[in-house]
Amino acid sequence: MGVAIGLVGLPNVGKSTTFNALTKAQNAEAANYPFCTIEPNKAVVPVPDKRLAELSKIVNPERIQYSTLDFVDIAGLVKGASQGEGLGNKFLSNIRETEVILQIVRCFDDENIVHNEGSIDPLRDVEIIEGELILADIEVLSNRIDRLKKQVKSDKSAKSVLELAEELLEFLGEGKLARNFSKTNSDEYKQLVNEVRFLTDKEIMYGANTDEEGLVEDNEYVKALKTHAESNNCELIKLCAKVEEELIGLDDDEAQEFLTDMGVQESGLEQIIHKGFEKLGLMSYFTAGVKEVRAWTIRQNSTAPRAAAAIHNDFEKGFIRAEVISYDDFIVCGGEAGAKDAGKMRLEGKEYIVKDGDIMHFRFNV
CA angle 212, 103, 119 (to 5 degrees): 60
Other C-beta atoms lying within 10 Å of the C-beta of residue 112: 5
Q: What is the pLDDT of residue 197?
A: 86
Higher per-residue confidence, 126 vs 255? 126
How many Cβ atoms sit within 10 Å of the Cβ of residue 188?
Answer: 18
Question: Which residue type does 105 have?
Answer: V
Q: What is the DSSP letter of 67?
A: -
- Give the pLDDT band of residue 112 (cuts 50, 70, 90): confident
* pLDDT (average), residues 178-190: 93
Residue 30 has pLDDT above 60, yes or no: no
Say if residues 209 and 241 touch (Cβ distance below 8 Å): yes
90 pLDDT band (50/70/90 cuts)? low
Tell me: pLDDT of 219 over 90: yes
What are the residues facing 364 on neighbouring strands? 319
Q: Residue ranges of the domains in the chain?
A: 4-279, 301-364
Could you write out the DSSP letters of every residue in 144-161?
HHHHHHHHTTT-GGGHHH
Supply the pTM of this predicted model: 0.82
Average pLDDT, the chain: 86
Higher pLDDT: 59 or 34? It is: 59
User: Inter-axis angle of helices 187-196 and 159-173, to 10 degrees?
Assistant: 70
pLDDT in the model for residue 282: 94
Q: What is the pLDDT of residue 156?
A: 84
If residue 208 lies in a helix (H) or strand (E), which one and from where to where?
Answer: strand 203-209
6 strand-pairing partners = 72, 101
24 pLDDT more than 80: no
Residue 80's pLDDT is 57
Give me the pLDDT at residue 56, please. 96
The sign of the torsion formed by the CA atoms of 187, 192, 193, 194 equals positive
Q: With respect to CATH, is domain 4-279 assigned 3.40.50.300? A: yes
d(CA 275, CA 211): 22
Strands 359-364 and 319-325: antiparallel
Integer angstrom CA distances of residue 17 from 22, 86, 93, 129: 9, 20, 22, 19
pLDDT of 83 higher than 70: no
28 has a pLDDT exceeding 90? no
CA distance 340 to 352: 19
Helical ranges in the chain per DSSP H: 15-23, 50-59, 88-96, 122-151, 159-173, 187-196, 212-216, 220-231, 241-247, 252-262, 268-279, 304-308, 313-317, 327-332, 336-341
- Spell out the residues 6+ positions from residue 299 whose beta carbon is closer than 8 angstroms to its own: 1, 281, 282, 283, 306
Is domain 301-364 classified as CATH 3.10.20.30? yes
- How do beta strands 203-209 and 100-106 pair? parallel
Across residues 265-286, what is the average pLDDT?
Answer: 91
Q: Give the lowest-confidence range in 154-158, 173-177, 296-300.
A: 154-158
CB 244 within 8 A of CB 269: yes
| Bridge pairing between strands 235-239 and 203-209 | parallel
Map residue 204 onto helix, strand or coil.
strand
Helix/strand/coil percentages in the chain, nearest 5: 45, 20, 35
Question: Within 174-267, where are the H helices?
Answer: 187-196, 212-216, 220-231, 241-247, 252-262
**What is the DSSP secondary structure assignment for residue 6, as one 8-state letter?**
E
Longest dimension (CA), the chain: 69
Tell me the pLDDT tens digit for each residue of 340-360: 999 999 999 999 999 999 999
pLDDT tens-digit map of 285-321: 999 999 999 999 999 999 999 999 999 999 999 999 9
Q: What is the mean pLDDT of residues 69-93?
A: 64
- Whole-number pLDDT of residue 89: 55
Query: Is pLDDT above 80 for 77?
Result: no
> Residue 86: pLDDT band by 50, 70, 90 thresholds?
very low
Are 4-279 and 301-364 in the same CATH fold? no
Measured between alpha carbons, how far is 54 from 67 in angstroms, rounded to an integer? Answer: 16
Cα 230 to Cα 268: distance, rounded to the nearest angstrom: 18
Are 22 and 70 in contact by the 8 Å Cβ rule? The answer is: no
293 phi and psi, to 5 degrees? Answer: -105, 125
